[in-house]
């Protein structure tokens, strides 16, 4: 047994004296490794994606763009340059549809348009818009009853009164009666009760 300072040293004391520095360094290394692992795990557990306001705005805008890409089909007839069915972005308004249809013709009844059509209204899928046209006394398809023909109330008229209208037969008269009540005369076309061409012939003879 070795003699240290006049005293006999035990084997454990000898090991400590010889390997003291390596043991201390090894223990410190183990502690540092354990601390590093703990910090790494905690950072990954607590870390969450940071959403800046610009990211939120971008996400909202992309959602709006996706919604606007949805298409609707709308039918426009009457006093427009190019009547027909149009595919428009969702959220379009009647004024957009009129632009696609080439605008109003010379025969469009602008007073009736101002009364019955809200050009700022949003369109829905499957909607039908009829642009009123001016009535002309004459021959051909534009022929209407003369000024002596009685005005017919589409909410109260009898079957016989409706059949007196130009181009209105028993079937059409019955459809008009069974579809009551009406809040606007244009609903006859919008609800496919009569055709746009027939409406052009008789609309000045109708009332509510």
DSSP string across 136-162: --SSGGG----TTSPPEETTT--HHHH
Domain interval for residue 193: 135-208
pLDDT value, residue 93: 92
The verdict on residue 196 lying in a domain is yes
> Which CATH number belongs to the domain containing residue 171 in this structure?
1.10.150.320
Backbone angles phi and psi of 82, in degrees to 5:
-125, 80
Query: Which of 29, 46, 63 delimits the end of a domain?
Result: 46
pLDDT value, residue 167: 85
Residues 6+ positions from 92 with CB-CB distance below 8 Å: 72, 74, 122, 123
Mean pLDDT by 10 residues, the chain (208 residues): 54 68 78 82 60 48 50 89 90 92 89 84 87 61 45 89 88 92 87 86 82
Max Cα distance, the chain (Å): 145
Q: How many domains does the chain have?
A: 2
pLDDT value, residue 112: 82
Beta strands in 55-205 (DSSP E): 71-78, 84-89, 128-131, 152-153
The verdict on residue 146 lying in a domain is yes
CA 181 to CA 159: how far, in whole Å? Answer: 15
Q: Per the confidence metrics, is the pTM higher than 0.75? A: no
pLDDT value, residue 45: 59
The verdict on residue 90 lying in a domain is no
The verdict on residue 22 lying in a domain is yes
The verdict on residue 32 lying in a domain is yes
pLDDT value, residue 139: 39
Query: Which of 11, 30, 46 delimits the end of a domain?
Result: 46
């Amino acid at each position: 047994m070795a003699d240290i300072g006049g005293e006999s040293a035990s084997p454990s004391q000898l090991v400590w004296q010889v390997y003291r520095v390596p043991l201390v360094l090894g223990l410190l290394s183990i502690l540092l490794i354990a601390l590093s692992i703990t910090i790494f795990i905690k950072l990954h557990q607590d870390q969450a994606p940071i959403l800046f306001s610009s990211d939120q705005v971008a996400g909202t805008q992309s959602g709006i763009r996706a919604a606007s890409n949805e298409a609707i089909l709308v039918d426009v007839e009457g006093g427009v340059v190019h009547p027909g069915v149009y595919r428009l972005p969702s959220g379009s308004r009647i004024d957009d549809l009129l632009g696609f249809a080439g605008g109003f013709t010379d025969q469009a009844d602008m007073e009736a348009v101002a009364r019955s059509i809200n050009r700022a209204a949003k369109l829905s899928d499957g909607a039908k818009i009829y642009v009123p046209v001016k009535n002309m006394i004459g021959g051909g398809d534009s022929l209407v009853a003369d000024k002596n023909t009685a005005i017919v109330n589409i909410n109260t008229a009898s079957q016989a009164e409706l059949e007196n209208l130009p181009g209105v037969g028993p079937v059409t008269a019955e459809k008009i009666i069974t579809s009551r009540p009406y809040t606007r005369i244009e609903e006859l076309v919008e609800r496919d009760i009569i055709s746009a061409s027939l409406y052009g012939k008789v609309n000045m003879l109708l009332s509510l």
